[in-house]
Chains A and B, each alone.
Chain A
């Protein structure tokens, strides 16, 4: 697959384009090995230079990169014996929030995740990763299934947010999100949440309450999108880069606030540039926390989770 580069990656993109050309020439017998290794080194250096100094707006763009691994990529690479489970048992199946059962390192688990689409048709079918109430209610149903069969829950967060639509309101998406928060707080199985791309507001939180919050290095998590924040507070969506900076939505800032437990490092250039390495890091991150959580008595697990939730907040007394 041809790599897609963001605007701020233009210097890397130019070198990579030259490399594509050289590899083509090499195939037709031209002696270009030396130039290839020189440019490969140069590309790595440029990547290193650009990625060692990313501002929150650039990280926001990376978190939404069209080639970034989505939930289904993690499901395919991290789990075995997978079966997807559909529907809220009341109204519909929501393809923007997927879930199912499978094995992680031989352990039976239940997974949930937002799913965006790659091509236009799939993007529309997946509603750009914005769940509707039936999606949250499917998630709720599966959470309860997990509790019944003592399956740890792994969630993958990647959504611009809840869907602002007429039907979503008519079907009371507020209640659907709120109910998940209430149920997740008391669920008697380990829950690990991992932000893989965009953590957008209530739509993210509806599968985001758990015992651990992991964030990929170039993922974001925010109460409102930088564009939305900018249009409300600055009255102009073009101030999104400023909003991204002030919202503190990067993994690093969220770790500092004590809301995330661990940042999972991404390969140079981002998760999409080296899928195998990304999967290895995410696997290791989940495995480490899961084994700790599985060793806890369930009563302690829930008590610790409630305690963690009750300590969210900064104020003076």
Chain B
């Protein structure tokens, strides 16, 4: 059941600190160094009330804030990852999975649901960045496709919030093929005129950017989000020069024509609800 699993995830999250989500009653904003009162930050959807810095948030937290209360029903919740290559670097992939599952309460890095946004039915996918860096392996790809197919069958819009380091190395070439798979699933939505809204949040990089994240009918970003294909460090090493100010940030992408718009988290329900009303799929 979505709710019970969701609570488990939250409880697990409270015990183990997640990157990006501040713990304790007071927290310092990484954007403006203001000291913020946690309950106020929480009411403000983890956006700094002083400078607008968008903290990273978990997938279920995001879905809870974005969708109408109690409207979410999870899709493909039972899919679980498999260490089919017996991949081992300094640790086994199997062990990494077990630990990620324990700390996040998730089976893998993408949560997919149907629900309503301001009363309108939608399908929503959200990446859990704290699960192995939101990396895309077989389960992420398959859940994304099933969410896509649900949107297609029901002729309702599909919205994806991405936050990912890219393809999951531990699933090797199979993870690269998830780019092809998700791209193919989206090509079907586009054929049938079912709208796809891609919302890129901090950070969205690598194979996820170069597939499902950049294929939105409308590409949206959260303010200040890092979005790109190659990571800034890799680029710096390759070109051997300092990168321009604000490089690969949402505002840089907007100025260079890569995305349609930037929407503040606090306005996402209203403005995306409006977009959903404007871009209607044809009746099936």
Chain A residues with Cβ under 8 A from B172's Cβ? 222-223, 247-249
Cβ-based interface call for A202 (8 A): yes
Say how far B141's CB is from chain A's closest CB, in angstroms.
Answer: 5
Looking at the assembled complex, report how far the CB atom of A316 sits from the nearest CB atom of chain B, in whole angstroms: 5
Across the interface, A306 reaches (CB within 8 A) one of B188, B211, B243, namely: B188
Of A147-155, A158-166, A265-273, the one with at least 4 CB within 8 A of chain B:
A158-166
Those of A267-317 within 8 Å (CB) of chain B: 306, 309-310, 312-317
Asked whether A229 lies within 8 Å of B169 as measured between CB atoms, the reply is yes
Please indicate the chain B residues that have their CB under 8 angstroms from the CB of A243 in the complex.
89
Give the residue name and chain of the B residue nearest to A307 (CB): B184
Whether B215 contacts A179 by the Cβ 8 Å rule is yes
Residues of B close to A172: CB separation below 8 A: 214, 253, 256-258
Q: Which of B207, B212, B230 has the most CB of A within 10 A?
A: B230
Stretch at the interface among A43-51, A67-75, A117-125, A181-189: A181-189
CB-CB < 8 A to A163: which residues of B?
Answer: 238
Let me know if B215 and A182 touch, CB within 8 A: yes
- Encode B227-257 as 1/0 by CB contact (under 8 A) with A: 1111100110011010110011000110011
> A224 at interface (Cβ–Cβ under 8 A)?
yes
Contact across chains for A257 and B173 when beta carbons are under 8 A apart: yes
Residues of chain A lying within 8 A (CB to CB) of residue B230: 162, 164-165, 168-169
Complex: how many Å from CA A163 to CA B238? 9
Q: Does B183 sit within 8 A of A, measured CB to CB?
A: yes
Interfacial chain A residues near B89, Cβ < 8 Å = 229, 233-234, 242-243, 246
Known: A164-B235, A182-B215. A315 touches B82 (CB 8 A): yes
CA distance A169 to B138 in the complex (A): 27
Residues in chain B near residue A82, CB distance under 8 A: none
CB of B88 closer than 8 Å to a CB of A: yes
Cβ of B57 within 8 Å of any chain A Cβ, yes or no, is no
Q: How far is the CA of A316 from the CA of B210 in the complex (A)?
A: 26
> Once bound together, how far apart are the Cα atoms of A242 and B230, in whole Å?
23
Query: What B residues does A249 contact at CB under 8 A?
Result: 172-173
Enumerate chain B residues within 8 angstroms of A242, measured Cβ to Cβ.
89
Q: Are A181 and B179 interface neighbours, CB within 8 A?
A: yes
Which residues of B77-115 have CB atoms within 8 Å of chain A's CB atoms?
78-82, 84-85, 87-90
Which residue of A has the minimal Cβ distance to B89?
Answer: A233
> For A174, what are the chain B residues with a Cβ–Cβ distance below 8 Å?
209-210, 213-214, 227-229, 258
Size of interface on A: residues with Cβ below 8 Å to B: 52
Q: Cβ of A175 and Cβ of B214 under 8 Å apart?
A: yes
Q: Which residues of A contact B256 (CB under 8 A)?
A: 170-172
Chain B, interface SS category:
helix
A194 interface hit (Cβ, 8 Å): no
| CA A21 to CA B82, docked complex, whole Å | 56
B78 & A312 in contact (Cβ 8 Å cutoff): no
Whether the Cβ atoms of A165 and B183 lie closer than 8 Å is no
B115 CB to nearest A CB, Å: 23
Give Cα A164–Cα B145 distance, bound, in whole angstroms.
29
Q: CB within 8 A of B173: which of A165, A232, A259?
A: A259
When chains A and B are docked, how far (Å) is the Cα of A185 from the Cα of B234? 30
- Flag whether A40 is at the interface (Cβ < 8 A): no
Residues of B within 8 A of A205 (CB): 176-177, 179-180
Answer whether residue A80 sits at the interface, using C-beta atoms and an 8 A cutoff: no
Task: Contact check, B187 vs A182: say whether CB atoms are below 8 A apart.
Answer: yes
Nearest CB of chain B from residue A185's CB, rounded to whole Å: 4
- The residue on A at minimum CB distance from B182 is A181
B201 within 8 A of A: no
Whole-angstrom distance from the CB of B158 to the nearest CB of chain A?
Answer: 14
- CB pair B186 A248 closer than 8 Å: no
Inter-subunit contact B167/A185 (CB<8 Å) = no
CB-based nearest A residue for B165: A232
Q: Fill in one digit per residue for B52-89: 1 if any A CB lies within 8 Å of its CB, else 0.
A: 00000000000000000000000000111110110111
Instruction: Give the A-binding residues of B (Cβ under 8 A).
Output: 78-82, 84-85, 87-90, 138-139, 141-142, 145, 167, 169, 171-181, 183-188, 190-191, 206-207, 209-215, 227-231, 234-235, 238-239, 241, 243-244, 247-248, 252-253, 256-258
**Chain A residues packing against B (C-beta within 8 Å):** 162-166, 168-175, 177-179, 181-183, 185-186, 201-202, 205, 208-209, 221-224, 229, 232-234, 242-243, 246-249, 254, 257, 259, 306, 309-310, 312-317
